[in-house]
Amino acid sequence: MTARSAPAYRRPADSDSGAFFKVAAILLGLLVSVVGFFALMMWADAREARDDTAAAQASGRAPAQDAAALDPAVDHNVALPLDSFAGVVPENAQQLAEAHKATDAALPPVPAGDLVKVEMTLKDMVVEVAPGVKYNTWAFDGHGAPGPIVHAREGQTVEMTLVNGGAIPHSIDFHAARIAPDVAFRDIDPGESFTFRFKADDPGVFMYHCGTKPVLAHIANGMYGAIVVDPAKPLPQADREYVLVASEWYLDGAGIDAPASLNMDKARAMAPDWTTFNGYANQYVTHPLTAKPGETVRFYVVAAGPTLDTDFHVVGTIFDRAWVNAAVTNAPQNGVQTVLVPAGGGGVFDVKIDEPGLYPFVSHAFAHVDLGQVGLLEVAGTK
Ligand SMILES: [Cu+2]
């Protein structure tokens, strides 16, 4: 490649110009080599940079931030693909959390008679999902989220009336019902109401929710709740019964200066800003559920999602009885630590705690705890 091309330029009759061409050919060859070398180096650099970028994208942060990944002073939100408002609260958050009236988790009694009449009016309303964090919900019965706890006994008939006081069509889908969904769970226009009945023949704890499309948006905006159906053959006696509905919130703003609404991209990406029990982050940390030593406490847990499961666990104890998937006509599992409650499913859990103390209940998928899905069971006093 260097001097080999020289003969092509050489004319035998002209020795001077032959020497000139020889030198020129050598210089040209050197030039080609040098340019080729630099081109190779530039290509290698570019490839390395591309690999670094790919690695950074895979890890979700720039390479320079690796060392800072665990530094609490570093704002990790900046490197997320979607702006996160996780943990963003006003300065007086503790004061607001204490002033917040915690959602009553106690299971209400079963109405007498064969017919359980339930009426819910849907309202668009602003609720708090964390201290000082406001959100525009579509709420069943003016409760914010979750909607009211429905309690029935196996064999009773539930008569459900939904009044749509909102701005767009909605519906209500009861997982406890065996019924044609295209009829019973149909969309109700604003200003209209609809009544349907179903026989509560399947005991357990079930989710109910709005089933209007896109369901992801309607559930994410707070349209869900729990119905407990007691089995005809009663479960072992419990001293306290609490209902916990787990869910996530996806915010398009911090919700502090103005109420946040749904960020559908985050909902699709399953990247919540807050996760909660009964709709408000950490509310039972500030206002613990209570029990006395030696009492049996029963938790009815529903994971409303819209998308994420809840891995239910009580720190400091073990479930004496766990009816996995809320299959209460089956024998419970005994002595289990953590039970999956799938999105759209439920579970029933008994604990009997003898030693006074504060016992956290969590989703043991710990990102949930960080985002607010944690509470305390305060075991105190004497039975
Ligand atoms: Cu709806």
Per-residue pLDDT band for 22 (boundaries 50, 70, 90) equals: low
Note whether residue 75 is domain-resident: no
If asked whether residues 125 and 224 sit together in one domain, one would say yes
Say which range, 26-35, 39-48, 193-202, 228-237, has the weakest mean pLDDT.
Answer: 39-48
If asked whether residues 127 and 37 sit together in one domain, one would say no
Instruction: For residues 353 and 357, give the distance between their C-alpha atoms in angstroms, rounded to a whole number.
Output: 9
Say which range, 3-12, 35-44, 147-156, has the weakest mean pLDDT.
Answer: 3-12
Which DSSP string corresponds to 99-130?
A: HS-----BPPPPPSSSEEEEEEEEEEEEEEEE
249 alpha carbon – ligand 1 mean position (Å): 15
Note whether residue 163 is domain-resident: yes
If asked whether residues 36 and 167 sit together in one domain, one would say no
What is the number of structural domains in the chain?
Answer: 2
Note whether residue 251 is domain-resident: yes
Note whether residue 260 is domain-resident: yes
If asked whether residues 207 and 279 sit together in one domain, one would say yes
DSSP letter at 279 equals: T
Note whether residue 74 is domain-resident: no
How large a percentage of the chain has pLDDT more than 90?
76
Note whether residue 92 is domain-resident: no
DSSP H stretches of helix in 221-348: 264-269, 283-286
If asked whether residues 35 and 115 sit together in one domain, one would say no
280 alpha carbon – ligand 1 mean position (Å): 20
257 alpha carbon – ligand 1 mean position (Å): 26
88 alpha carbon – ligand 1 mean position (Å): 27
62 alpha carbon – ligand 1 mean position (Å): 40
149 alpha carbon – ligand 1 mean position (Å): 18
If asked whether residues 46 and 119 sit together in one domain, one would say no
Range of the domain at 24: 6-59
If asked whether residues 178 and 286 sit together in one domain, one would say yes
Say which range, 48-62, 151-165, 238-252, has the weakest mean pLDDT.
Answer: 48-62
pTM of the model: 0.80
Note whether residue 77 is domain-resident: no
Per-residue pLDDT band for 66 (boundaries 50, 70, 90) equals: low
If asked whether residues 317 and 216 sit together in one domain, one would say yes
Note whether residue 89 is domain-resident: no
If asked whether residues 19 and 143 sit together in one domain, one would say no
CATH (domain of 280): 2.60.40.420
If asked whether residues 10 and 151 sit together in one domain, one would say no
188 alpha carbon – ligand 1 mean position (Å): 9
C-beta neighbour count of 256 within 10 angstroms: 18
7 alpha carbon – ligand 1 mean position (Å): 85
If asked whether residues 121 and 249 sit together in one domain, one would say yes
Report the pLDDT value the prediction gives residue 245, as an integer from 0 to 100: 98
If asked whether residues 33 and 163 sit together in one domain, one would say no
